[in-house]
């Protein structure tokens, strides 16, 4: 018996040592990938940043931005702050560029429900509940209270507008009933959007939308098909891509996605500095972002270090998901996206019960 306890003791020590060694390895690996902050890069970022905790003032946007045909915001699903950023971007673009066409990672049926909601003389939240039911099947991490609150606020914004200025939602994803997988989602979304943009009625219109992180990249990461943004660029459209990164935040991870999930379905594992998701160069943003809630950084100014660096565009995923690493033909971050939102302290999306 004593010998058995001794063996169990050795096994326990071994397991504890193995876990500790693995944790040390992960910390070292993540720190190495993140890299240390660089003074010149931090200086640039501090000169090209705007506080967007309240609203977006457009101070960082230039003629290249304003001449774009398509504006895309890319998120890691499940962070509540991204729903707020989506509302801010849409209302800013509507007020300043007349952008009234909102494109979304949903199908035309769900978009039809949103359009009915926006145009009813009284606010019918039951229609939003129906859209959330659709989202649970396609983007479950968006299907929460913040989504409802965003569209409720946009209803209030939209109601007093003249009919010619009212926001219209376009669902460009494949239909839920479409079981064909002969072409990729990004190809489907590109084809559906081009069908709208080439319609004479929308020839001179601009479009904006919130999508998953991958879809807004303007270059395909190694081992991946071409994202939506790259396909649109290749079709002759001018595209501006903005990505959203989080720090010290929580993400909604609903049960049933095949990943370990706590009872409250909220995890803090997908921040840009690890431990699951790690962004190369996030240390520069951290250093340039003292005492902030949500900031916007411009990456494509003429003197930008991101014109000769891949920082912020190299993303590693430990355990879950596939790395997003530009291939060897890509020389700069701004080839993939041009702006970054950085938010701190975002809660997780709150699921509707």
Give the tens place of pLDDT for each residue, 141-159. Answer: 999 999 999 999 999 999 9
d(CA 63, CA 161): 27
Find the length of the chain.
Answer: 353
Per-residue pLDDT averaged across 193-218, rounded?
Answer: 96
Is pLDDT above 50 for 221? yes
What is the chain's mean pLDDT, rounded? 90
d(CA 295, CA 285): 10
Tokens of 113: 């429900």
Per-residue pLDDT averaged across 7-23, rounded?
Answer: 50
d(CA 60, CA 163): 30
d(CA 332, CA 326): 9
Proportion of the chain above pLDDT 90, given as a percent:
78
Which of these ranges, 4-8, 110-114, 245-249, 319-323, has the smallest mean pLDDT?
Answer: 4-8
Would you state the pLDDT for residue 23? Answer: 44
Is pLDDT above 60 for 276? yes
Would you state the pLDDT for residue 17? Answer: 46
Tokens of 278: 């790690």
Is pLDDT above 90 for 11? no
Would you state the pLDDT for residue 236? Answer: 96
How many contiguous H segments (helices) and E segments (strands) does the chain have?
A: 10, 12
Residue from 73, 86, 93, 331 nearest 214 by CA: 73
pLDDT band at 290 (very low <50, low <70, confident <90, very high): confident
């Amino acid at each position: 018996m004593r010998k058995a306890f001794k063996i169990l003791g050795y096994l326990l020590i071994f397991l504890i040592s193995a876990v500790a060694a693995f944790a040390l390895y992960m910390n070292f690996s993540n720190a190495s990938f993140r890299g240390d902050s660089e003074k010149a890069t931090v200086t640039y970022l501090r000169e090209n940043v705007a506080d967007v905790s309240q609203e977006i003032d457009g101070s960082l946007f230039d003629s290249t931005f304003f001449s774009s045909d398509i504006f895309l915001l890319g998120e890691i699903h499940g962070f509540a702050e991204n729903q707020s950023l989506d509302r801010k971007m849409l209302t800013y673009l509507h007020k300043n560029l007349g952008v009234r066409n909102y494109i979304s990672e949903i199908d035309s049926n769900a978009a039809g429900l949103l359009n009915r909601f926006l145009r009813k003389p009284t606010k019918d939240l039951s229609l939003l509940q129906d859209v959330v039911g659709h989202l649970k099947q396609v983007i479950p991490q968006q299907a929460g209270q913040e989504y409802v609150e965003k569209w409720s606020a946009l209803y209030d914004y939209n109601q007093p507008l003249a009919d010619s200025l009212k926001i219209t939602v376009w669902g460009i994803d494949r239909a839920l009933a479409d079981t064909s997988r002969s072409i990729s989602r990004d190809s489907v979304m590109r084809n559906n959007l081009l069908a709208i943009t080439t319609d004479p009625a929308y020839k001179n219109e601009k479009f904006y939308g919130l999508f998953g992180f991958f879809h807004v990249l303007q270059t395909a990461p190694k081992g991946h098909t071409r994202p939506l943004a790259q396909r649109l660029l290749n079709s002759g459209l001018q595209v501006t891509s903005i990505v959203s990164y989080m720090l010290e935040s929580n993400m909604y991870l609903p049960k049933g996605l095949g990943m370990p999930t706590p009872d409250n379905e909220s995890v803090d594992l997908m921040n840009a500095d690890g431990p699951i998701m790690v962004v190369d160069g996030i240390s520069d943003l951290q250093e340039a972002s003292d005492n902030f809630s949500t900031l916007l950084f411009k990456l494509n100014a003429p003197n930008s270090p991101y014109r000769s660096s891949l920082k912020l565009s190299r993303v590693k995923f430990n355990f879950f998901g596939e790395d997003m690493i530009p291939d060897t033909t890509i020389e700069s971050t701004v080839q993939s996206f041009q702006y970054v939102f950085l938010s701190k302290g975002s809660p997780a999306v709150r699921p509707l019960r």
